[in-house]
Amino acid sequence: MRVGVVGVGNISQQYFEHFPALPGLALTAVADLDVERARSVGEAQGVRGTSVDELLGADDVDVVLNLTIPAAHAEVATRALDAGKHVYGEKPLALATAEAAPVLELAGRSGLRVGSAPDTVLGTGIQTARAAIDDGLIGDPVGAAVSWSAPGHELWHPAPAFYYQPGGGPLLDMGPYYLTSLVQFFGPVVRVSGSATRSTRERTIATGPFAGAPIPVDVDTHVVAVLEHERGVVSTVTVSFEVWATRAPLFEVHGTAGSLAVPDPNRFSDPVSIATADDREWRELPVTAGYADAGRGYGLADMAHAIATDRPHRASGDLAFHVLEIMEAVQTASRNHTVVAVESRVDRPDTVPAGSEPGSW
């Protein structure tokens, strides 16, 4: 499947790094609002760099990899679908479900696929944790707890302003990794409650050519949510750009017969640990599922193979829509001080079998 990339910012390099290891994908073009930048990146990748309009109209592009900022995700996806191309995008799927729903409807009418990050959940870390839960190693799952935090992306990112605009913040930026993992583990979420706030701290860019520039903050920067899954499991999720240091566990799942220490779902292959009722000392589990040595782009490759074999793809638009609705419901619950129902439902994607290799999915 011939891939055209729209948006050649920081994240694009991680995709370019893994394209050579992914049979079934061929990078043919890259585009950006800054056409000169696109040409420079295209030269480095051995493909043409062009304008967005030219890429969307190209005959040698079958799928658009949408790596634009969140505010442009829905627009670029819609234009790609209108041009008869499949689309796979970075998270979130859109700024709001009202933007995302027409994208999925258009894809359905057009017989095209929509995929979305994160595909980190297809690596051995989250997939091994899911296999442990499904195999009953911790008994019946009861609850999960997430606590991700940082002082703020401005400390490392050279152009972090979009992280503090709608579509960013800790919920929409980091939330998809954890929420997608929780849906992988326990299925869809049916109700949420939550509360969110932001500090008065002034933020400035710490590195790069814009170092010292102030950053307007238009999103909540500390979010706490309680999620009720359809199967009765309760998850608590805290995500924050306000924490200078913490000892809180990152991600744990607790069941009637044991607990799991789940690895960072922003990474692909970190180990899973378990403690059981019989032995409450943590021990590392062997890898039992997931794409080994995976990296960004595996979700796109999985989608390409799914199209070729006429099966559902794992990093799907429907899953990303459900996660987006969860995040939107958390924001509504915080704003209105209420419990909010989540209307969408999604099936858990198929587990990635252990030892899966590119081309054998």
Q: pLDDT tens digits for 152-196?
A: 999 999 999 999 998 899 999 999 999 999 999 999 999 999 999
Q: Which helix (H) or strand (E) holds 162?
A: none
**pLDDT value at residue 360:** 60
Instruction: Report the 10 Å Cβ neighbour count for 201.
Output: 11
Q: Tell me what percent of the residues of the chain surpass a pLDDT of 70.
A: 99
**pLDDT value at residue 333:** 98
| 276: phi then psi, degrees, rounded to nearest 5 | -110, 170
What's the CA gap between 7 and 5, in Å, rounded?
Answer: 6
The one-letter amino acid at 135 = D
Average of pLDDT values for 198-225? 96
Note the pLDDT tens digit of each residue in 75-85: 999 999 999 99
Average pLDDT, the chain: 96
Is the pLDDT confidence value at 359 over 60?
Answer: no
> Angle, nearest 10°, between helix axes 317-336 and 97-110?
160
| 58: phi then psi, degrees, rounded to nearest 5 | -75, 140
What's the CA gap between 231 and 254, in Å, rounded?
Answer: 15
Out of 137-141, 217-221, 285-289, 354-358, pick the least confident: 354-358
Task: Give the burial class of 344: count Cβ atoms within 10 A of its Cβ; 0-12 exposed, 13-18 middle, 19 or more buried.
Answer: middle
Q: Which helix (H) or strand (E) holds 275?
A: strand 273-276
The DSSP bridge partners found for residue 66 are 6, 89
Is the pLDDT confidence value at 358 over 80?
Answer: no
What's the CA gap between 226 and 133, in Å, rounded?
Answer: 20
The DSSP bridge partners found for residue 29 are 4, 48
Which pLDDT band holds residue 275 (cuts at 50, 70, 90)? very high
Is the pLDDT confidence value at 246 over 80?
Answer: yes
Q: Tell me what percent of the residues of the chain surpass a pLDDT of 90.
A: 95
**pLDDT value at residue 43:** 97
Which pLDDT band holds residue 356 (cuts at 50, 70, 90)? confident
Write the CB contacts of 162 (distance below 8 Å, at least 6 apart in sequence): 69, 70, 71, 168
| 8: phi then psi, degrees, rounded to nearest 5 | -115, 45
For 67, the token pair is 């790596």
Span between the terminal Cα atoms of the chain, in Å: 15
Note the pLDDT tens digit of each residue in 8-18: 998 999 999 99
In this prediction the pTM is 0.95
CA-closest candidate to residue 223, choices 198, 202, 246: 198
Q: Is 60 within 8 Å of 2 (Cβ atoms)?
A: yes
The one-letter amino acid at 70 = P
Which pLDDT band holds residue 107 (cuts at 50, 70, 90)? very high
Which pLDDT band holds residue 265 (cuts at 50, 70, 90)? very high
Domains and CATH numbers, the chain: 2-116 (3.40.50.720), 120-284 (3.30.360.10)
What's the CA gap between 50 and 61, in Å, rounded?
Answer: 13
Three-class SS string for 282-306? CEECCCCECECCCCCCHHHHHHHHH
Note the pLDDT tens digit of each residue in 300-333: 999 999 999 999 999 999 999 999 999 999 999 9
What's the CA gap between 352 and 24, in Å, rounded?
Answer: 18
What's the CA gap between 214 and 218, in Å, rounded?
Answer: 13
For 170, the token pair is 């800790």
Write the CB contacts of 280 (distance below 8 Å, at least 6 apart in sequence): none
